[in-house]
Amino acid sequence: AFEFPRLKGPKGYRWYLMFTSGKQENLDGQHLSVLESAGDDPMGPYSYKGSPMPDSWNIDGSYLEHQGKLYLLWSEWVGDEQLNFIALMRDPWTLAGDKVVLTRPSQPWAQSGRKVNEGPEVLKKDGRTFVIYSASFCDTPDYKLAQIELTGQDPLDPKAWTHAAQPVFERGNGVFGPGHNGFFKSPDGKEHWLVYHGNSKETDGCSASRSLRAQPFGWHGDGTPDFGEPVSEQTPVAAPSGENGPLTLVPQGAFWQLNGQGRTLGEGKLVLDPTRHGAYRLANAKGQFLTGQQCGASWQPWQNQACQEWTLASQDDGQLALTNQDSGESLGNWQALPAQEVALVSAQSGKVLSLSQGHLQGRPQGRLVQRAYDQGQDQQWRFQAAEAGFVTLAPKGSNQCLAVQHRSLAAGAPVVLADCGAAESQWRLSPQGDGAVQLINRHSQQSLDLASCGLADGTTVNQAPVQDNRCQHFFLRQP
């Protein structure tokens, strides 16, 4: 039950991942926690900021922005009732005032199985603010959606909310227990969509059989949302409008340089954005996408065409072979490297490449490990071109580069800082289908590898034989 909004935090706009966690064996101790992105990039890296209420049971957190203030909405048990609450926030992870009951399951239709209100979600349109929430126990087929609207000025005043007398979305057309919803707009902004989970059988309840579903919705003449009925599983649903473009946009991500054949592709600033089947789309800083000649101009708005997808194959000399996914057209070989300092985020743990001793006497020192992102200089890496298509990696503030210690060929050998000129300090970048890269040493032909696929701070990152697994995949993100 995570939320993923872009909010204005203490250091400007950031992305916040708020999620619920607890004890696996009995669901005790569940509470909200918040991660914050380092910059205005939803792909991170992220750092843990805290829990709004670490010592009480609370779930299903979401945010409400209203008249320049930020509020937290969530659900918790009080006696035999599960209620929705609201409280003012000082920042996206800290409460600034007392909690107030937002809704309670007083209606008979909110008491099927148990007395439950949970999953509050904000929906806004034309200056009006609604909260759509789930009612009744999720283990029954009568789990459903209900609605309140902010008709007063103060969200903390219970009298400022008007409650709909009846549920606004419930079982129908062979769909049972539709609830725990969210909202999104189509890419062109013309359609409103409801996303929720539901079941195919009355008896499935809260089990793993629940499936994610989405359908468009409209609006009543009085300005309230009209969710209609759940769409039958046998009814095709058209894709959101604008799904296939044309879209002129720059995907979030680090900018790359692709140099070769006496030129720089895309004026030296490209985002390499993974699509499907191991392919990528290449966007320039103007929001145009590299397009195969069979579809016309070389740079066009995104139109979800196969001729706009490319494979990036790492060669033995470190260069990348660029080939059109649709036609097989080759654009030759290129040296690829990030155009600015980046953090390298483990696909396995979400933590970033760091040095065991961080900074000593103002300079990065130590062997390569992983650590939660804390904006350290030893977590920000500068790539520079080396021979052929190989690159070197140096932490911010250092003139030394990552190297395999003592030119070792042994699996498990440490990776440390050393002179940048030797083969053991040069690396080949190999893009993977998930958007990550493998970093393969020129001297040893082995990959950076997260030891034992560990999750803890301080886990070493050594060299190991090349394998296609998450413990050797690292995402390049803007710090």
> Dmax of the chain from CA atoms?
74
Say what the pLDDT of residue 364 is.
76
High-pLDDT (> 90) share of the chain, %: 89
User: Is it the case that residue 414 has pLDDT exceeding 90?
Assistant: yes
β-bridge mates for residue 298, sequence order:
none
Q: What is the mean pLDDT of the chain?
A: 95
> Cα angle vertex 362, ends 356, 365, to 5°?
25
User: Is it the case that residue 277 has pLDDT exceeding 90?
Assistant: no
Average pLDDT estimate for 416-441: 96
Cα gap 14→37, rounded to integer Å:
6
Alpha-carbon distances of 414 from 69, 407, 464, rounded to whole Å? 49, 10, 10
Q: Which of 103-107, 253-257, 261-265, 334-338 has the lowest mean pLDDT?
A: 261-265
Average pLDDT estimate for 304-332: 95
Structure tokens belonging to residue 403: 């190297």
**Which of the residue ranges 26-30, 170-174, 362-366, 396-400 has the most confident prediction, judged by mean pLDDT?**
170-174
Q: Find the distance separating the first CA and the last CA of the chain, reported in whole Å.
A: 27
Say what the pLDDT of residue 25 is.
77
Average pLDDT estimate for 318-330: 95
Say what the pLDDT of residue 161 is.
99
Average pLDDT estimate for 436-447: 98
| CB-CB contact of 476 with 254 (8 Å) | yes
The closest of 436, 272, 256 to 353, measured between CA atoms, is 436
Say what the pLDDT of residue 171 is.
98
Q: Which of 33-37, 197-201, 277-281 has the lowest mean pLDDT?
A: 277-281
The closest of 134, 261, 243 to 190, measured between CA atoms, is 243
Q: Which of 23-37, 169-183, 436-450 has the lowest mean pLDDT?
A: 23-37
Say what the pLDDT of residue 261 is.
81
The closest of 54, 48, 73, 46 to 62, measured between CA atoms, is 73
Q: Which of 118-122, 141-145, 359-363 has the lowest mean pLDDT?
A: 359-363
Average pLDDT estimate for 174-180: 97
Cα gap 438→469, rounded to integer Å:
10
Say what the pLDDT of residue 233 is.
95
Say what the pLDDT of residue 27 is.
74
Average pLDDT estimate for 10-19: 95
Average pLDDT estimate for 325-335: 94
**Token pair 């006497």 is at which residue?**
361
Q: Which of 36-45, 64-73, 469-478 has the lowest mean pLDDT?
A: 36-45
Cα gap 167→105, rounded to integer Å:
12
What the chain holds in terms of domains, given with CATH numbers, is 6-226 (2.115.10.20), 255-338 (2.80.10.50), 342-477 (2.80.10.50)
pLDDT tens digits, one per residue of 350-396:
999 999 987 776 777 899 999 999 989 999 999 999 999 999 999 99
Say what the pLDDT of residue 358 is.
78
pLDDT tens digits, one per residue of 282-315:
999 999 999 999 998 899 999 999 999 999 999 9
Task: Provide the pairing of β-strand 115-125 with 81-91.
Answer: parallel
3-state secondary structure the chain: CCECCEEEECCEEEEEEEEEECCCCCCCCCEEEEEEECCCCCCCCEEEEECCCCCCCCEEEEEEEECCEEEEEEEEEECCEEEEEEEEEEECCEECCCCEEEECCCCHHHCCCCEEEEEEEEEEECCEEEEEEEECCCCCCCCEEEEEEECCCCCCCHHHEEECCCCCECCECCEEEEEEEEEEECCCCCCEEEEEEEECCCCCCCCCCCEEEEEEEEECCCCCEECCCCCCCCCCCCCCCCCCCCECCCCCCCEEEEEECCEEEEEEEEEEEECCCCCEEEEECCCCEECCHHHCCCEECECCCHHHCEEEEECCCCCEEEEECCCCCEEEEEEEEECCCEEEEECCCCCEEEECCCEECCEECCEEEEECCCCCHHHCEEEEECCCCCEEEEECCCCCEEEEHHHCCCCCCEEEEECCCCHHHCEEEEECCCCCEEEEECCCCCEEEEHHHCCCCCCEEEEECCCCCHHHCEEEECC
Torsion of the alpha carbons at 329, 332, 338 and 339, rounded to the nearest 10: -100
The closest of 192, 189, 335, 195 to 268, measured between CA atoms, is 335
Structure tokens belonging to residue 31: 């509470």
Using the Cα atoms of residue 201, residue 204, residue 208 and residue 210 in order, give the sign of their dihedral. Answer: positive
User: Is it the case that residue 26 has pLDDT exceeding 90?
Assistant: no
3-state secondary structure 402-438: EEEHHHCCCCCCEEEEECCCCHHHCEEEEECCCCCEE
| CB-CB contact of 72 with 63 (8 Å) | yes
Cα gap 338→267, rounded to integer Å:
14
User: Is it the case that residue 41 has pLDDT exceeding 80?
Assistant: yes
Cα gap 419→426, rounded to integer Å:
10
Say what the pLDDT of residue 276 is.
82
pLDDT tens digits, one per residue of 204-213:
999 899 999 9
Structure tokens belonging to residue 152: 């007063």
The closest of 334, 335, 353 to 450, measured between CA atoms, is 353
| CB-CB contact of 248 with 238 (8 Å) | no
Alpha-carbon distances of 46 from 19, 27, 352, 474, rounded to whole Å? 13, 26, 9, 14
